[in-house]
């Protein structure tokens, strides 16, 4: 959906705290009901260009789960990005925007059998796995396809660790590639994920060191990797500083050079959050303000259930940049608010101790920046409050 420029209205004033990366006229003419996510496709394209400059050897396969708005998928496709999916549903989203399944990676390690079969029928041929059971499933449903094994790595430097649910220990990953061969599959590669919103650049070096050891053992066994997939985890900027993509690129590129016994023909990554989080802002309206036992509460029309589920998974671990539409935003005293969503459930609450103008009142708008990742894709219609509308436009 592109913004309807026929619904021109007064553009909200751009507050002083507007994040540098967002175009100042992003909301111009967007006189539409809240809540909505407003994003800039030029920024999405820019992220891919910067990723390419920082990691010239690594081809990004965008993680569709992160933000699957068709405009975003089309932009990624147009700038030459590849894709990574978690389900057949995500493959259908890609088919709808003209992506060839043959270039898509299916990286969910435990998949519904019917999704494997249908993806293979559509032309997808590379699947990840981290267990014998999954290899047997792939051999049965998509015979002869290529598999890459997910290795468990240290993800303690991330906000959202993934290694408890996914990944095989190195010795097991080695056995799995042999088993793949026995089952008539192509032992194609290895993958890992350092955890989402990883802020420790050392995590990539450690993971690559572990993979390099495994590659040496596999080489002795007569298996050479066609693909090394370094996964996602590249962080986005919320309230606190994070390593830049250039800093991460330096560590990754150096580690690939120094640690690997040979360079696999294909090195890919599966970035999600880093590519889209900072490209969009959520625009919400204050429904009410109440004081409860000395605590200042703001009730807004977006909450954990219809957009900010991640605030439930990482309570207090990071802060979204917030500001308001109030003309006195930068002038009056700021006080700590508890910011909650519109539903009848208290776990709909997103932010605690959020500093906002003491004057905040019903009808004011609250802007939540860095909202482009894992918001819409998680949103439900709980309590009859639907997911926010999406307005992506291109500033350049
Ligand atoms: C297999 C896989 N690849 C890539 C990603 C994207 O990770 P991120 O958004 O942290 O870059 C995820 C996220 O959960 C994932 O599970």
**301 Cβ below 6 A of ligand 1:** no
Distance of CA 353 to the CA centre of its chain: 26
Return d(Cα 150, Cα 128) in angstroms, integer: 7
pLDDT at 22 (0 to 100) = 84
Q: How far is the CA of 60 from the centre of ligand 1 (A)?
A: 12
Kindly report the backbone phi and psi dihedral angles of residue 262, in degrees, each rounded to the nearest multiple of 5, phi listed first: -155, 165
**166 Cβ below 6 A of ligand 1:** no
**63 Cβ below 6 A of ligand 1:** yes
pLDDT at 180 (0 to 100) = 98
Q: How far is the CA of 382 from the centre of ligand 1 (A)?
A: 25
Return d(Cα 263, Cα 257) in angstroms, integer: 8
Q: How far is the CA of 53 from the centre of ligand 1 (A)?
A: 21
Q: Which of 63, 68, 93, 65 is nearest to 81 (CA)?
A: 63
Q: What domains appear along the chain, each with residue ranges and CATH number?
A: 24-39+277-393 (2.40.37.10), 68-271 (3.20.20.10)
Q: How far is the CA of 66 from the centre of ligand 1 (A)?
A: 8
Per-residue b or e along 221-253, where b marks 16 or more CB atoms closer than 10 Å to that residue's CB: eebebebbbbbbbbbbbbeeebbebeebbebbb
For Cα atoms 143, 149, 155, give the angle at the middle one, nearest 5 degrees: 150
Pocket test for ligand 1, best of 66, 72, 83, 158 (most atoms within 8 A of CB): 66
CB 135 within 8 A of CB 183: yes
DSSP state string for 13-34: P--TT--TTS-TTTTTT---PS
DSSP state string for 58-119: -EEEEEGGG---HHHHHHHHHTT-EEEESSHHHHHHHHHTT--GGGEEE--SS--HHHHHHH
Q: How far is the CA of 233 from the centre of ligand 1 (A)?
A: 6
Q: What is the pLDDT of residues 163-210, one digit of tens each?
A: 778 899 999 999 999 999 999 999 999 999 999 999 999 999 999 999
Distance of CA 341 to the CA centre of its chain: 22
Ligand 1 atom nearest 109 alpha carbon: 1
pLDDT at 7 (0 to 100) = 27
Residue whose Cα lies nearest atom 15 of ligand 1: it is 232
Ligand 1 atom nearest 195 alpha carbon: 10
Q: What is the pLDDT of residues 317-350, one digit of tens each?
A: 668 999 899 999 889 999 999 999 999 998 999 9
Q: How far is the CA of 63 from the centre of ligand 1 (A)?
A: 6
pLDDT at 316 (0 to 100) = 64
Ligand 1 atom nearest 128 alpha carbon: 1
pLDDT at 17 (0 to 100) = 58
SS (H, E, C) 344-363: CCHHHCCEEEEEEECCCCCC
**193 Cβ below 6 A of ligand 1:** yes
Ligand 1 atom nearest 158 alpha carbon: 10
Task: Give every residue of the chain whose pLDDT is below 50, as ranges.
Answer: 1-12
Residue whose Cα lies nearest atom 5 of ligand 1: it is 232
Distance of CA 169 to the CA centre of its chain: 25
pLDDT at 10 (0 to 100) = 38
Q: How far is the CA of 94 from the centre of ligand 1 (A)?
A: 17
Longest dimension (CA), the chain: 70
């Amino acid at each position: 959906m592109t913004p309807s420029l026929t619904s021109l209205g007064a553009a909200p004033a751009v507050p002083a705290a507007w994040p540098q990366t967002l175009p100042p006229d992003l909301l111009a003419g967007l006189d539409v009901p809240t809540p909505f996510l407003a994003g800039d496709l030029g920024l999405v394209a820019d992220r891919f260009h910067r990723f390419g400059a920082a990691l010239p050897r690594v081809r990004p396969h965008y993680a569709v789960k992160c933000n699957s708005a068709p405009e975003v998928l089309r932009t990624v496709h147009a700038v030459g990005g590849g894709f990574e999916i978690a389900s057949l549903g995500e493959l259908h989203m890609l088919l709808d925007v003209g992506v060839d399944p043959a270039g898509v990676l299916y990286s969910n390690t435990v998949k519904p059998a019917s999704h494997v079969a249908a993806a293979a029928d559509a032309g997808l041929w590379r699947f990840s796995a981290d267990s014998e059971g999954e290899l047997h499933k792939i051999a049965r449903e998509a015979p002869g396809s290529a598999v890459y094994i997910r290795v468990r790595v240290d993800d303690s430097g991330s906000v959202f660790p993934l290694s408890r649910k996914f990944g095989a220990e190195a010795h097991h990953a080695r056995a799995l590639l042999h088993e793949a061969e026995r089952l008539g599959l192509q032992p194609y590669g290895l993958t890992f994920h350092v955890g989402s919103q990883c802020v420790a650049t050392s995590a990539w070096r450690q993971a690559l060191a572990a993979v390099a050891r495994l590659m040496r053992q596999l080489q002795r066994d007569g298996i050479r990797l066609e693909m090394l997939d370094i996964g996602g985890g590249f962080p986005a900027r919320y309230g606190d500083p994070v390593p830049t993509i250039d800093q991460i690129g330096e560590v990754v590129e150096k580690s690939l050079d120094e640690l690997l016994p040979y360079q696999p023909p294909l090195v890919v990554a599966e970035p999600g959050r880093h590519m889209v989080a900072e490209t969009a802002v959520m625009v919400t309206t204050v429904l009410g303000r109440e004081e409860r036992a000395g605590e200042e509460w703001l009730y807004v029309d977006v909450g954990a259930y219809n957009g900010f589920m991640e605030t439930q998974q990482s309570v207090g671990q990071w802060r979204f940049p917030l500001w308001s539409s109030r003309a006195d935003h930068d002038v009056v005293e700021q006080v700590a608010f508890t910011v909650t969503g519109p539903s009848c459930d208290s776990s709909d609450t997103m932010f605690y101790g959020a500093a906002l103008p003491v004057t905040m009142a019903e009808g004011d708008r609250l802007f939540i920046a860095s909202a482009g990742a894992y918001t819409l894709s998680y949103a439900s219609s709980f309590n009859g409050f639907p997911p926010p509308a999406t307005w992506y436009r291109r500033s350049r």
